[in-house]
Amino acid sequence: MLIKVRKPWELREQDVTSQQLYVNRRQVIAGLGIAGAAAALPVSALAGAFDGAIKTDWGKDELPTSLKDITSYNNFYEFGTDKGDPKKYAHKLTTDPWSIKISGECAKPGTYALEDILKGQDVEERIYRLRCVEAWSMVVPWNGIQLSEILKKFEPTSKAKYVSFKTLYRPKEMWGQRRNFIDWPYEEGLRMDEAMHPLTMAAIGIYGDTIPNQNGAPIRLVVPWKYGFKSIKSIVEIEFTEKEPRTSWNIRLPREYGFYANVNPTVDHPRWSQAKERRIGDFFRTPTKMFNGYASEVASLYDGMDLRSFY
Amino acid sequence: MMKQALKTRSAKVVAFGLSLLPLGWLAAIGPDGWGANPVELFNRFLGDWALRFLLITLAVSPFARIFRLSALLRYRRMLGLFAFFYACLHLLSYLVFDQFFDWGAIWKDIVKRQFITVGMLAFLALIPLAVTSWTRIRRRMPTQLWLKLHRGIYFITGAVVLHYFMMIKADYLLASLHGAILIILLLLRMRPAPRAMATA
């Protein structure tokens, strides 16, 4: 009779992780987090947990740009002005811990840890077109939260007519900030109704995973009907203001970049036409749509405004 | 030694090969290396090298003078023609890849966008220089006229640096570097009279 003696390294069938468990491990881990101490879990521990994000109809007919292109072609001057620079240098950025200072016209100012801000929020997946002022565009599957859900928490007062945002200033990790071609830190702003608009989003993920540093980790703005530079990255300050806030590109080149920066094919940039755009991955240019194709949602915000003077 | 080597045919072949390196590099990195926006990469890369070859061409005479290598002067025409070659590719990349023969948009660009106006003028101004570099044509031209025409390369290079500056959004570092090189080359050109040189 032959008795097979199993060596310690010989695994049996029952030792194998079931394929189902293996495939769904991210949801399982995320599930454990939610069932257990979700609140105590740092954001980074949920990496990849957006697989379970609530799907929305936004952009369901769009073909998303490849993750490789989205993460290797970036305008994030804090890491250098070449579009390949952010991918090369953004790994130096530490995003944990992360807090955001809330100030201005609201009932609950203060400095909040990012996980406290995100606590209890539903993460959605929305596929949005992103149109850069430089006449190229992408389609990005964002994971994030409707910005209004976040802003509401701080109870803006009736005096809050605008919201201003600031990017992190940390030249040690963001070498582009060592040279002053922009008056750092980067600042952006929205009118209150734009900020509270259901399309406006705070993104924390791309393609179901934690947002890469070069795309604005750990939290960035996404305003799909405006040129990309409005969608400020790596936010550390939010201020509710009565007056229109300063914005970095407007300070740098006021004739070229206005406060509104709505995508508009009929108003050219002084140095190039905005009538068409090159979708990354395409050879031919495609016509640019008014408000980047979101006119039915947002055109009413600008009723009666001359979009030529409020560019 | 060096002087003799520079006069050989094989040295010229080597210089020719070296001048093709930027284009070779572009081909070698292939679609993967071209990244998300190849059109933008081609436009900028080819434009950069057109300007660099203009600067290299301008650097030849001061270099030859300082290092007493008059044999270098034989390379000026080839280097200048390479500047024209990269300028042609730069323009073609814009006309074909960027605009795909959308003549309406191209015409609007040339007329309305000042940096394109300047770039296009610089290109047009290069054409007579390239054409008259042909030995046969050169021989038929009065020397003074030929020299006058070819001194225009300084203005053209200046216009190209301006074209570069005008397209920048924020960071002028690289354009400034190219501009500084042009200024240095111009200063070297404003040398003291040849008499002073002889005693130097």
Contacts of B109 in chain A (CB under 8 A): 272-273
Q: Are strands A286-287 and A276-279 parallel, antiparallel or unpaired?
A: antiparallel
Q: Which residue of A has its CA nearest to B37?
A: A280
Q: Which residues of chain B are within 8 Å of residue A271 when distances are taken between CB atoms?
A: 113-115, 166-167
SS3 (DSSP) at A145: strand
Please give the pLDDT value at position A118.
95
Residue of chain B with shortest Cα separation from A282? B37
Chain A partners within 8 Å of B41 (Cβ)? none
Residues from chain A contacting residue B100 (CB–CB below 8 Å): 283-285
Query: Is B105 close to A271, i.e. CB distance below 8 A?
Result: no
Residues in chain A: 311
Residues in B touching A247 (Cβ below 8 Å): none
pLDDT score for B6: 84
A285 in B contact zone (CB under 8 Å): yes
Residue A19: the pLDDT is 55
Q: Is A71 helix (H, G, I), strand (E, B) or coil?
A: helix
The identity of residue B62, as a single letter, is P
**Alpha-carbon span A304 to B165, nearest angstrom:** 37
B171 and A72 within 8 Å at the Cβ level: the answer is no
Among A73, A272, A275, select the one facing B113 at the smallest CB separation. Answer: A272
Instruction: Scan residues 258-277 of A and list those with Cβ closer than 8 Å to B.
Output: 268, 271-273, 275-276
Q: Give the integer Cα–Cα distance in Å for A289 and B101.
A: 22
| Domain A53-127+144-254: homologous superfamily in CATH | Oxidoreductase, molybdopterin-binding domain (3.90.420.10)
Amino acid A51: pLDDT:
76
Summarize the confidence of residues B176-180 as an average pLDDT. 96
Q: With an 8 Å Cβ cutoff, are B112 and A268 in contact?
A: yes
Nearest to B170 among A68, A69, A181 (CB): A181
Please state the domain extents for chain A.
53-127+144-254
Q: Which helix (H) or strand (E) holds A222?
A: strand A220-222
> What pLDDT is stored for residue B199 in this prediction?
43
pLDDT of residue B192: 59
- Disruptive mutation site among B98, B169, B173, B176 for chain A (greatest number of A CBs within 10 Å): B169
Rounded (5°) CA angle A231-A140-A147 = 45
- Collect all residues of chain B within an 8 Å Cβ-Cβ radius of residue A179: 171, 173
Contact B173 A271 (CB under 8 A): no
pLDDT of residue A220: 98
Taking CB atoms within 8 Å and a gap of at least 24, the contacts of A47-53 are: A47/A209, A47/A210, A48/A208, A48/A209, A48/A210, A50/A123, A50/A125, A50/A143, A50/A204, A50/A205, A50/A208, A50/A209, A50/A210, A51/A26, A51/A27, A51/A208, A52/A27, A53/A123, A53/A124, A53/A125, A53/A143, A53/A205, A53/A208
Contacts of A84 in chain B (CB under 8 A): 35
Nearest Cα of chain B lies from the Cα of A257 at a distance, in angstroms, of 11
Residues 74-103 of A with CB under 8 A from B: 77, 81, 83-84
Question: Across the interface, do B115 and A77 touch by the CB < 8 Å criterion?
Answer: no
The residue behind tokens 């003696």 is A5
- For the stretch B61-79, pLDDT in tens is 999 999 999 899 999 999 9
Confidence bin at B190 (pLDDT 50/70/90): confident
Cβ contact A69–B36 (<8 Å): yes
Residue B171 C-alpha, separation from nearest chain A C-alpha, in angstroms:
6
In chain B, which residues have their Cβ closer than 8 Å to the Cβ of A248?
none
What are B86-139's pLDDT values in tens digits? 999 999 999 999 999 999 999 998 988 999 999 999 999 999 999 999 888 899
Q: Distance, in angstroms, between B167 CA and closest chain A CA?
A: 8
A9 touches chain B (CB under 8 A): no
A214-251 burial by CB neighbour count: b if 16+ within 10 A, else e? Answer: bbbbbbbbbbbbbbbbbbbbbbbbbbbbeeebebbbbe
Is A198 touching B (CB cutoff 8 A)? Answer: no
State the 10-residue block means of pLDDT for chain A, 311 residues long.
60 58 50 46 55 88 95 96 96 96 98 95 96 97 97 97 98 95 96 98 96 97 98 98 97 94 95 93 93 97 92 92
pTM: 0.83
